């Protein structure tokens, strides 16, 4: 009888890949309680489902979903399996050049990840691949994979909605609404070079100097991967004199009031130059927040024809668009309605049904 397990380098709490892995585990565990997650590093909050990868038993009939986003010793481990059929679930790999001067060791792992991806495509025990987005599917095909399905993230917007009722969320809304007249921008994502939070700071400076001095930017996301970049970002904020306007608030999860940042903002602006999918785009659309995003990598695949996509980082044009959206209620309403239509493609009932079908197929093969 086929048992489907999962493996990944790090099972991290509050991380998009970690959340998705646990969501898949819930689906698998409901059908077969023997399904397990294996990892190198495991957050204690996931101990109920996860085990050290060294404890994995290579047995006939096993299918192992390898969540792939960085190079690690797991790729060598996959090569040693003789009885297990492996399915690569690709979440994308950040190009190493973004991290070279802020985290050289991470850059090495990212470069290793790109190299190993092509190696995985030719391993005899790798029988299938799943891409977390349509953009990721193109990268898998380019890496040599032939049989590739798309399994979008299970985005639990109901959990976000529930978190909006917490005490933390109420406190966040009160804090942000203190200056009722200011234009309030938000971006959610790890504070790393490819996310380009520095360009959002440049945007705020442009808007403040040439359009309206009353503007705020809330940057929500963890600082763990690139401390040098965080330090440079803080120096830029101080150099512009924006310490009161730009706030780095660190990681905030759905249970801790993440929804409040979306609810309290006037727009979500993304300057990122590399995204495999970018879940916060969908979260912002869910809360009726106008989304403006740089047209790069996976972003246009997620946005579709919704929101505002810009191909150049013209701070003047983006700032003027923000001002127009604030002044023109009809324009804003049209934009939000288009976004509401777009997120229907990512409703969890739709993505869960597709994913269940994929998992059933893996179990039946």
Say if residue 147 is in the same domain as residue 62: yes
Q: What distance in Å separates the CA atoms of residue 279 and residue 303, rounded to the nearest whole number?
A: 10
Q: The domain spanning residue 188 has which CATH number?
A: 3.40.50.2000
Q: What distance in Å separates the CA atoms of residue 324 and residue 320, rounded to the nearest whole number?
A: 6
- Residue 26: band (very low, low, confident or very high) from pLDDT cuts 50, 70, 90: very high
Specify the long-range contacts of residues 196-199, CB closer than 8 Å, at least 24 apart.
196/271, 196/272, 196/273, 196/294, 197/233, 197/271, 198/232, 198/233, 198/236, 199/271, 199/313, 199/315
20-37 mean pLDDT: 91
- Domain assignment present for 265: yes
C-alpha distances in angstroms, 95 versus 22, 131, 148?
26, 17, 22
pLDDT at 14 over 80: no
Helices (H), ranges, 13-73: 16-31
pLDDT tens per residue across span 308-340: 999 999 999 999 999 999 999 999 999 999 999
Q: What is the pLDDT of residue 13?
A: 79
Q: What percent of the chain has pLDDT over 90?
A: 87
Say if residue 145 is in the same domain as residue 167: no
pLDDT tens per residue across span 297-309: 999 999 999 999 9
b (16+ CB within 10 A) / e for 241-255? ebeebbbbeebbebe
pLDDT at 21 over 90: yes
Say if residue 250 is in the same domain as residue 333: yes
Domain boundary among 117, 151, 185: 151
CA angle 102, 116, 12 (to 5 degrees): 60
Number of domains in the chain: 2
Say if residue 167 is in the same domain as residue 306: yes
pLDDT at 20 over 80: yes
Does the pTM surpass 0.85? The reply is yes
- Domain assignment present for 363: no
- Domain assignment present for 74: yes
Say if residue 9 is in the same domain as residue 69: yes
Q: What distance in Å separates the CA atoms of residue 358 and residue 355, rounded to the nearest whole number?
A: 5
pLDDT at 177 over 90: no
Q: What is the pLDDT of residue 240?
A: 98
- Domain assignment present for 364: no
- Domain assignment present for 356: no
Mean pLDDT, the chain, rounded, equals 94
- Domain assignment present for 292: yes
Domain residues for the domain of 140 are 3-151
Quick one: tokens of 109?
A: 């792992």
pLDDT at 83 over 80: yes
Say if residue 139 is in the same domain as residue 251: no
Say if residue 129 is in the same domain as residue 176: no
Say if residue 138 is in the same domain as residue 164: no
Say if residue 185 is in the same domain as residue 333: yes
Domain boundary among 131, 151, 171: 151
- Domain assignment present for 358: no
pLDDT at 365 over 80: no
Q: What distance in Å separates the CA atoms of residue 320 and residue 217, rounded to the nearest whole number?
A: 16
Q: What is the pLDDT of residue 16?
A: 83
pLDDT at 141 over 90: yes
Reference 258, options 234, 277, 233, 283; nearest CA is 283
Strand order of the β-sheet with 246-250 is 246-250, 215-220, 183-188, 267-270, 291-294, 308-310
Say if residue 186 is in the same domain as residue 269: yes
Domain boundary among 91, 125, 151: 151
Q: The domain spanning residue 75 has which CATH number?
A: 3.40.50
Say if residue 45 is in the same domain as residue 132: yes
- Domain assignment present for 352: no
Say if residue 113 is in the same domain as residue 166: no
- Residue 64: band (very low, low, confident or very high) from pLDDT cuts 50, 70, 90: very high
Quick one: tokens of 250?
A: 């660190």
Q: What is the pLDDT of residue 206?
A: 98
């Amino acid at each position: 009888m086929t048992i489907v397990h999962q493996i990944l380098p790090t099972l991290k709490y509050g991380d998009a890949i970690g959340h998705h892995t646990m969501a898949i585990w819930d689906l698998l565990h409901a059908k077969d309680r023997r399904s397990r997650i294996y990892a190198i590093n495991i957050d204690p909050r996931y101990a109920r489902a996860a085990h050290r990868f060294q404890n994995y038993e290579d047995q006939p009939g096993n299918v192992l979903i390898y969540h792939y986003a960085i190079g690690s010793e797991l790729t060598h481990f996959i090569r040693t399996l003789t009885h297990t059929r492996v399915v690569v679930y690709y979440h994308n790999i950040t190009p190493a050049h973004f991290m070279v001067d802020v985290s050289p060791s991470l850059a090495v792992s990212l470069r290793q990840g790109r190299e190993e991806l092509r190696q995985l495509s030719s391993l005899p025990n790798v029988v299938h691949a799943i891409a977390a987005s349509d953009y990721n599917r193109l990268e898998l095909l380019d890496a040599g994979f032939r049989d590739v399905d798309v399994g979008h993230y299970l985005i639990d917007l109901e959990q976000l909605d529930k978190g909006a009722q917490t005490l933390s969320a109420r406190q966040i809304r009160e804090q942000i609404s203190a200056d009722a007249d200011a234009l309030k921008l938000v971006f959610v994502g790890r504070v790393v070079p490819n996310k380009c939070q520095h360009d959002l700071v440049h945007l705020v400076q442009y808007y403040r100097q040439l359009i309206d001095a009353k503007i705020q930017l809330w940057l929500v996301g963890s600082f763990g991967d690139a401390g040098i970049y965080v330090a440079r970002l803080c120096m830029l904020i101080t150099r512009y004199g924006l310490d009161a306007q730009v706030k780095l608030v660190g990681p905030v999860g759905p249970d801790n009031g993440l929804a409040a940042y979306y609810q309290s903002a006037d727009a979500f602006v993304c300057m990122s130059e590399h995204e495999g999918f970018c879940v916060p785009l969908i979260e912002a659309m869910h809360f009726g927040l106008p989304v403006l995003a740089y047209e790069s990598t996976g972003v246009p695949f997620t946005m579709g024809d919704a929101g505002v996509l810009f191909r150049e980082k013209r701070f003047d044009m983006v700032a003027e668009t923000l001002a127009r959206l604030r002044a023109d209620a009809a324009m804003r309403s049209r934009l939000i309605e288009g976004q509401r239509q777009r997120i229907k493609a990512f409703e969890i009932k739709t993505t869960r049904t597709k994913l269940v079908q994929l998992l059933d197929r893996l179990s039946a093969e």
